[in-house]
Amino acid sequence: MKILYAIQGTGNGHLARATEIVPLLKTMVETDVLVSGIQGDLQLPFDVKYKYYGLSFIFGKKGGVSFLKTLLKLKPFRFIKDVYKLPLDNYDLVLCDFEPVTAWACKLRGKKAAGVSHQNAVLHSNAPKPQKADWLGNTILKKYAPSTKKYGFHFQKLDENNFTPVIRSAIRKAKEKKLSHYTVYLPAYSDDEIITALSPFNEVRWEVFSKHSAKTYEQGNVRIRPVSLEHFTQSFTTCTGILCAAGFETPAEAIFMGKKLCVIPMKKQYEQACNAAFLGEMGVIVLAELKNQTKKIDEWINQSDSLQINYPDNTLEVLAQILRSA
């Protein structure tokens, strides 16, 4: 069997999960990798056969996606061309992690595609949703990368096709350690916004991983660093707490390690609103925004307990199940 594993390259969560999934897949079946998107920062530790421009959401600097920049970066004719030139006939099976070029190529050309993503679990009827409905956000999640069969990952197992998170080996094997610093990843906020919000906490050393800086620098008790999976993992595994967007991989790994966790969902981003609803039900502190949150951040810093779940190391079994039934 030969498969194509297609990865969404907007943001870093899909790419980080792929560093665990793809090497396992390669031990099971012949696997080629496709990545589309222009917002990822991570270098993948394996060959990528196809790289496409795709459809990316561009992060802003005020806490959400910049819809204007997203529209300006769209290249619809290039997307359509890529959809039709992708050599799908070379593969017995397509696995798609919310990647639109491959998903639409399969849909328009009548080939089965198994969706293997967090987004599939977010849409599940048993997954918590925010109180405020978002028709557009929900529609985007459903239509962005269509699939003929759906498998998902979420903070808790939802059914036989929706599993607990994939925890990277680097996190599982990390020695338990809590140094004094806090690790921060808020890609939709500017460095200045983050520094302004965190500088008042003089007793805390903040290590901020920024999408907006190509160099490391310090301002008071805040250290700004470019995004690097290796450096982020090192900071993450030794920190006291994590302040991050309401994505999936980073909060899940924080929960696995028992780190104090505080999340800020990106504005007008339905998936993150859903994640925040789930995390809130689990007892994680959720902030509506970064600005004017001094009291709540202080309470979080001073809390002594944290949520910890020992998610099972069953990624190989999950992949085997998907390959059998997809």
Q: How far is CA 266 from CA 66, 187, 274, 286, 304, in A?
A: 11, 9, 11, 11, 26
Q: Are residues 293 and 239 in the same domain?
A: yes
83 falls within a domain: yes
Q: Are residues 96 and 233 in the same domain?
A: no
Q: Are residues 175 and 163 in the same domain?
A: no
Q: Are residues 129 and 95 in the same domain?
A: yes
**What CA–CA distance (Å, rounded) separates 251 from 257?**
10
- Report the pLDDT value the prediction gives residue 60, as an integer from 0 to 100: 82
Model pLDDT for residues 89-130, shown as the tens digit of each residue: 999 999 999 999 999 999 999 999 999 999 999 999 999 999
Residue 305's CB is within 10 A of a number of other CB atoms, namely: 8
Q: Which residues of 242-257 are buried (b: 16+ CB within 10 A; e: fewer)?
A: bbbbbbbbbbbbbbbb
Spatial contact of 306 and 129, defined as CB atoms under 8 Å apart: no
Q: Are residues 212 and 106 in the same domain?
A: no
Model pLDDT for residues 3-18, shown as the tens digit of each residue: 999 999 877 889 999 9
**What CA–CA distance (Å, rounded) separates 52 from 96?**
14
- Domain of residue 248 covers 170-302
Alpha helix (H) ranges present in the chain? 13-28, 67-73, 76-85, 100-108, 118-122, 135-143, 169-172, 191-198, 229-238, 249-257, 270-281, 294-302, 315-325
Q: Are residues 112 and 213 in the same domain?
A: no
Query: What CATH number does residue 148 fall under?
Result: 3.40.50
Residues near 238 by beta carbon (within 8 Å), at least 6 away in sequence = 177, 178, 179, 181
- Report the pLDDT value the prediction gives residue 62, as an integer from 0 to 100: 86
297 falls within a domain: yes
DSSP code at position 189:
B
307 falls within a domain: no
- Report the pLDDT value the prediction gives residue 194, as an integer from 0 to 100: 97
Backbone angles phi, psi at 246, to 5 degrees: -90, 55
Q: Are residues 47 and 153 in the same domain?
A: yes
Residue entry with tokens 């805390």: 204
Q: Are residues 116 and 208 in the same domain?
A: no
62 - beta bridge partners? 189
Spatial contact of 148 and 110, defined as CB atoms under 8 Å apart: no
- Is the pTM of the predicted complex or chain greater than 0.85? yes
**What CA–CA distance (Å, rounded) separates 56 from 38?**
6
- Report the pLDDT value the prediction gives residue 72, as an integer from 0 to 100: 86
**What CA–CA distance (Å, rounded) separates 322 from 326?**
5
Treating both helix axes as pointing N-terminal to C-terminal, what angle do 13-28 and 315-325 enclose, rounded to 10 degrees? 70
95 falls within a domain: yes
308 falls within a domain: no
Q: Are residues 125 and 215 in the same domain?
A: no
The pair of three-digit structure tokens given for residue 102, joined into one six-digit string: 């491959």
Q: Are residues 192 and 321 in the same domain?
A: no
Q: Are residues 124 and 142 in the same domain?
A: yes
Counting the structural domains of the chain, the total is 2
Query: What CATH number does residue 220 fall under?
Result: 3.40.50.2000
**What CA–CA distance (Å, rounded) separates 20 from 136?**
32
Cα 257-22-243 angle, rounded to 5 deg:
30
Ordered per-residue pLDDT tens for the chain, 326 residues: 999 999 998 778 899 999 999 999 999 999 999 999 887 777 788 999 999 999 888 788 888 878 888 888 889 999 999 999 999 999 999 999 999 999 999 999 999 999 999 999 999 999 999 998 899 999 999 999 999 999 999 999 999 999 999 999 999 999 878 899 999 999 999 999 999 999 999 999 999 999 899 999 999 999 999 999 899 999 999 999 999 999 999 999 999 999 999 999 999 899 999 999 999 999 999 999 999 999 999 999 999 899 999 999 999 999 999 999 97
- Report the pLDDT value the prediction gives residue 32, as an integer from 0 to 100: 97
Residue among 114, 52, 38, 58 at smallest CA distance from 83: 52
- Report the pLDDT value the prediction gives residue 326, as an integer from 0 to 100: 79
Q: Are residues 144 and 208 in the same domain?
A: no
Q: Does residue 165 sit in helix, strand or coil?
A: coil
